[in-house]
Amino acid sequence: MKKVMLVFGTRPEAIKMCPLVNELKTRKSLETIVCVTGQHKEMLTQVLDTFNVVPDYNLSIMKEGQTLFDITTNILHGIKEVLEKEKPDVVLVHGDTSTTFVTALACFYLQIPVGHVEAGLRTHNIYSPYPEEFNRQAVSIVSKYNFAPTRLAMKNLLDEGKDPKSIYVTGNTVIDAMAHTIKKDYTHPELDWVGKDKLIFITAHRRENLGQPMHNMFRAIRRVLDEHPDCKAVYPIHMNPIVRKAADEELGDCDRIHIIDPIEVFDCHNFEARSYLILTDSGGIQEEAPAYGVPVLVMRDTTERPEGVEAGTLKLVGTSEEVIYNEFTKLLTDEKEYHKMAHAANPYGDGHACKRIADILEGKNYKPFLN
């Protein structure tokens, strides 16, 4: 029996790996083991509970204000013991976090094959997003299986000289997760508060945006909300204390924004689907929102998800206060501009990514996702 170990540690990895854990557990020819690094704590537990995934190992490395050095060294030491004990035939990692990179590095040191889920995303600027672009490129050097979500991601890997036989276009597992979350009759007290006004949904957390860029983002949002009484914003805030302090300083006394604790992924998807507009620097939300046809202003300088930009749903607006203010205002005042962006597209998957990955690991034939 082939032993497959999945290692992940943050909220978005968990959202995208838990559906895969549950699929792999149905396969009789595979033994599935889950190790979480605990790079996140509360935000990770929330997702594990939603998908009923109970990890076999938890390295519990999170500490407040952790640096990249803390995360890297603590995971590297912790994961060695687990890998040496379990001796998996393949280790699956996801995307581009420090958990992902360090686990792949440990596997390389121990010569254990790595499968990279959500492989091949690129901005080609290792400082944007930071440190994620470095992480994902570094994993591609060692990975044996590359599960690319889209054909563009496959092309990025081929351009870097990866063996075509190691690349599989599967779609993104987040679309699989969404099949279980969206409910027509969904209600929530925050949505009742918004009522008939326009729901503006906000998230922000990127490391390279901490400091001035984040203050710029919040100031622009504040100005627009002050000028548009028909809008209410809901912002489930990341647990990073630096983010919380900036949000409190810029938005704390604004009565048309509710800053709430992180919500369950089930709630998050239903909020997104009911939003008039989303402002975010998140990666995952860029993949989810196009499916609902909800326009997204991406508050970053680069994106590794150009499929959504091409589909018309995402617009990259950077982190300057004036640009965010102008673009946000435009979508509230210019109906033509809004409708240009507000249409459903699904460039990231068809809901069968987990099944494809499981088939590939079992050595079965698979039909690629053709976006």
Q: Minimum Å distance from CB 196 to ligand UD1? A: 32
Can you tell me whether residue 5 is helix, strand or coil? strand
Q: Which is nearer to ligand UDP, 213 or 284 (CB)?
A: 284
Helices (H), ranges, the chain:
11-24, 42-50, 68-86, 98-109, 132-142, 151-159, 173-178, 189-194, 212-227, 241-251, 265-273, 284-292, 306-311, 321-333, 335-341, 353-361
Catalytic residue among 13, 94, 116, 132: 132
Q: Per-residue contact track with ligand UD1, 253 to 292, x per CB under 6 A?
A: ------------------------------x---------
- List, in order, residues 6 or more apart from 121 with CB less than 8 Å away: 95, 96, 136, 149, 153, 156, 304, 305
Residue 96 known to be catalytic: yes
Q: Per-residue contact track with ligand UDP, 286 to 305, x per CB under 6 A?
A: --x-----------------
**Phi, psi for residue 5 in degrees, rounded to 5:** -110, 130
Burial classification of residue 140, based on how many CB atoms lie within 10 Å of its CB (0-12 exposed, 13-18 middle, 19 or more buried): buried
- 205 contributes a contact to ligand UDP by CB under 6 A: yes
Q: Minimum Å distance from CB 174 to ligand UDP? A: 6
A 10 A CB-CB count for 145 gives 18
Residue 222 known to be catalytic: no
- 285 contributes a contact to ligand UDP by CB under 6 A: yes
Q: Which is nearer to ligand UDP, 224 or 237 (CB)?
A: 237
- List, in order, residues 6 or more apart from 24 with CB less than 8 Å away: 4, 6, 30, 32, 354, 358, 361
Q: Which is nearer to ligand UDP, 46 or 72 (CB)?
A: 46
Residue 136 known to be catalytic: no
- 351 contributes a contact to ligand UDP by CB under 6 A: no
Lateral strand order in the sheet of 2-8: 57-58, 30-36, 2-8, 90-94, 114-117, 145-148, 167-169
Stretch near ligand UD1 under the rule CB under 6 A, chosen from 24-32, 38-46, 244-252, 353-361: 38-46
Residue 269 known to be catalytic: no
Q: What is the identity of the amino acid at 313? A: T
Q: Which does 274 bind (CB under 5 to 8 A by kind): ligand UD1, ligand UDP, none?
A: none
Catalytic residues: 96, 118, 132, 205, 207, 238
Where along the sequence are the contacts to ligand UDP (CB under 6 A)?
11-12, 15, 174, 203, 205, 236, 262-263, 265, 268-269, 282-285, 288
Binding site for ligand UD1 (CB under 6 A): 10-12, 39-44, 64-66, 68, 71, 97-98, 131-132, 205, 207, 239-241, 283
